[in-house]
Amino acid sequence: MSRHPYPLGDLPSPSPKLNPAIIRRDFPILERRVHGKPLVYLDNGATSQKPRAVIDAIRHFYENGCANIHRGVHLLSGEATQAYDRARTGICRAMGAAHAEEFVFVRGTTEAINLVARSWGDLHVHAGDEILLTEMEHHANIVPWQFLAKRAGAKIRVLPITPDGALDLERLPALLTEKTRILAFTHVSNVLGTVNPAAEICKAARDRGIVTLVDGAQAVPHGPVNLSEIGCDFYVFSGHKMFGPDGIGVLYGRGKLLASLPPWQGGGDMVERVSFEESTFRPPPDRFEAGTPNISGAIGLGAAFAYHDQLNWPELREHEHNLVTATHEALLSIPGLRIQGTVPGKAPVVSFTMEGIHPHDIGTILDSEGVAIRAGNHCAQPLLARLGIQSSARASFACYNTLEEVETLANAVRKAHRYFA
């Protein structure tokens, strides 16, 4: 008999939680010690930790209802199909969209952008056309467009950033020309923390008939994203950065546009009729989900959205803002330390460099204090080149982080400074 009183993929909605100390209890891993010290996990930009609700939903699927979807006549297959579809509907509702068919399950942000660059790009981008990106993109939102540009003979153009790390929007109108086919930009920078005004940017493109893709990988973890307010054509994100499992993410595509696109991979479950001469394809989202999908991942992502949804985001956003302010204050008092990205209202991402200390050494010393951060180029080499650096250290926060952890971070960075100064 099931140990869980709810069906697959349908989680109870506890009352809203704000206090990070209470939220932390939902994340078993935060009890861990590393090198004999309490874990201070500040690498949320790379991947977030998972609440028990998500872990339980996945375990529940494998212990009670593991089956393939859409193809079985037996009870388990019907239940798994319902749970998979329910996850899609829940995500659609949470993101302020009207049609669940507009949400395609993919492996993550990277796969979603590759899908659009292949399926939409091969249809609409031709020799002489332009693809507009920005200077603050993750490699995932650069390389697939380079592949497309090479295939089509198109050109990539780049919207620059200002010295404090905002997009230079005054330059946008001149870059949106009659040659521009798509504007693909990040909602939140994974290096600078800058939150871009996605609705305003999408409107500028839409007014000129230009398609938009928004990379939401670093936006969805920090509160609900409303797609009807943004007004983009495509929105993409990964589950693992917003409390969900890895290997699952979402491509949102505006209904008619998505329905007009050809599939990018062929196989089972995406076809209507197949003969050796030709095949016809099902409408979205099935058309873009060839083969057995990541069923447990989708159910886990549905659980992550259900968990995310019941948090008190207006107050948690303020809490995350306080974490950033406290981190900036504490780190800037350390001689020779520079922060990349100081735009007001930034997301809780703090990248920094220290004179005379390699970011990997900072990361290693912090690790010995139990503090997990990221050090490297953050998959944003063009941005780092623009900033005149090759790598940086990055502390990235989630709503379960605390001001005490900011203090531990700052003490560990001071220790690194003493060690190398």
Element (DSSP H or E) covering residue 349: strand 349-354
CB atoms within 10 A of CB 2: 11
| 144 touches ligand PLP by CB under 6 A | no
Tell me the β-bridge partners of 17.
311
Using CB under 6 A as the binding criterion, the count of chain residues that bind ligand PLP stands at 12
Residues 6+ apart with CB under 8 A from 330: 406, 407, 409, 410
Candidates 44, 109, 180, 294: give the one binding ligand PLP (CB under 6 A): 109
Q: What residues pair up with 371 in beta bridges, in sequence order?
A: 40
How far apart are CB 144 and ligand PLP at their closest, in Å?
Answer: 11
In whole angstroms, how close is the CB of 141 to ligand PLP at the nearest point? 6
Return the residue of 44, 212, 218, 296 that touches ligand PLP, per CB under 6 A. Answer: 218
> Of 44 and 353, which has the nearer Cβ to ligand PLP?
44
186 binds ligand PLP (CB under 6 A): yes
Of the candidate residues 114, 238, 392, 396, the single one contacting ligand PLP (CB under 6 A): 238
One of 50, 88, 118, 138 touching ligand PLP (CB under 6 A): 138
- SS3 state of residue 111: helix
Q: Of the listed pieces 54-62, 135-143, 285-293, 302-310, which binds ligand PLP according to CB under 6 A?
A: 135-143
The answer to whether 133 contacts ligand PLP (rule: CB under 6 A) is no
Cα–Cα dist 421/419, whole Å: 6
340 lines the binding site for ligand PLP (CB under 6 A):
no
Q: Which is nearer to ligand PLP, 177 or 265 (CB)?
A: 265
Question: Which residue, 128 or 345, is less far from ligand PLP as judged by CB?
Answer: 345
Residues 129, 154: contact at Cβ < 8 Å? yes
Segment contacting ligand PLP (CB under 6 A): 102-110, 125-133, 338-346, 401-409?
A: 102-110
Q: Which helix (H) or strand (E) holds 77?
A: helix 75-94
- Judge contact between 320 and 399, C-beta under 8 A: yes
Nearest residue (CB) to ligand PLP, 81 versus 141: 141
Identity (one letter) of the amino acid at 11?
A: L
Among 49, 81, 119, 190, binds ligand PLP (CB under 6 A): 190
Options 94-102, 133-141, 159-167, 340-348: segment touching ligand PLP (CB under 6 A): 133-141
> Could you say which of 92, 202, 379, 399 is catalytic?
379
Out of 129, 135, 215, 405, point to the residue binding ligand PLP (CB under 6 A).
215
Sign of the torsion formed by the C-alpha atoms of 98, 99, 100 and 103? negative
Stretch that binds ligand PLP, among 150-158, 214-222, 340-348, 400-408 (CB under 6 A): 214-222
Separation of alpha carbons 218 and 235, rounded Å:
12
Residue 66 designated active-site: no
- CA atoms 258, 232, 396, 298: torsion sign: negative
Q: Are strands 130-134 and 180-186 parallel, antiparallel or unpaired?
A: parallel
Within 10 A of 36 (CB to CB), how many other CB atoms are there? 7
CB atoms within 10 A of CB 391: 19
- Residue 382: asked if its preceding bond is cis (omega within 30°), the reply is no
Interface positions with ligand PLP (CB under 6 A): 108-110, 138, 140-141, 186, 190, 215, 217-218, 238
Active site residues: 379
